[in-house]
């Protein structure tokens, strides 16, 4: 049997003018993805936005936990996939602390991020050889991206209160949201 390693990522952005804590919603979404990542789980949370990941450790089993954030918490990444050329890309970056493709991806995005996270993502994507779905939060918005081949799935939905994304539709259905799939090679802000 062919094994398709996977993690589970999800996130929610509360659109209400008076933001409420997203903790309960992100916890429900993450619980629906538990089978995708038995090795670790992580969460990043602001009052109006939250990301979560269920990680299946493939590379750097000890130190590859996510979400990844910069020192100020201005940008945060959750990532599902594998960047095949991450070692070559790591040679372009300084200050890496782990041997993970996720940290290399985050380093590339953080280096390019000059106030426009969509542009940072669009600049990084051509250098990536791999299969992935990821979400980058910064400057008050979130950008989703999916690999050109469409191997890794990511779904999104919105209603009058929330915009959300997840690796599986059932995480969105579990919060009463209809879902659409991000197309292969597509980015979405």
Which residues are catalytically annotated? 7
Provide the strand spans (E) within 8-74: 8-14, 40-45, 49-55, 68-69
Q: How many residues does the chain have?
A: 189
Spatial neighbors of 59 by CB under 8 A, at least 6 apart, are: 82, 86, 99, 100, 101
> What values do phi and psi take at 153, rounded to 5?
-90, 150
User: How many helices (H) and strands (E) would you count in the chain?
Assistant: 5, 11
The sheet with strand 49-55 has its strands ordered as: 40-45, 49-55, 8-14, 162-166, 155-158, 180-181
Strands 141-146 and 130-138: antiparallel
**Residue reference for tokens 């996939």:** 81
Q: Reduce the DSSP state of residue 181 to 3 states and report it.
A: strand
Q: How far apart are the first and last CA of the chain?
A: 36
């Amino acid at each position: 049997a062919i094994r398709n390693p996977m993690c589970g990522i999800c996130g929610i952005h509360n659109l209400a003018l008076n933001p409420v804590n997203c903790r309960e919603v992100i916890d429900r979404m993450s619980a629906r993805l538990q089978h995708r990542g038995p090795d670790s789980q992580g969460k990043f949370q602001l009052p109006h936005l939250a990301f979560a990941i269920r990680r299946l450790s493939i590379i750097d089993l000890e130190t590859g936990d996510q979400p990844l954030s910069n020192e100020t918490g201005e940008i945060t990444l959750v990532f599902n996939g594998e960047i095949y050329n991450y070692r070559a890309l790591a040679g372009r970056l300084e200050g890496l602390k782990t041997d993970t493709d996720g940290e290399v991806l985050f380093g590339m995005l953080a280096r390019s991020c000059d106030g426009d996270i969509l542009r940072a993502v669009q600049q990084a994507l051509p250098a990536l050889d791999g299969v992935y779905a990821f979400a980058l939060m910064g400057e008050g918005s979130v950008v989703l991206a999916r690999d050109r081949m469409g191997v890794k799935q990511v779904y999104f939905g919105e209603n009058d209160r929330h915009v959300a994304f997840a690796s599986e539709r059932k995480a969105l259905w579990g919060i009463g949201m209809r879902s659409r799939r991000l197309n292969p090679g597509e980015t979405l802000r």
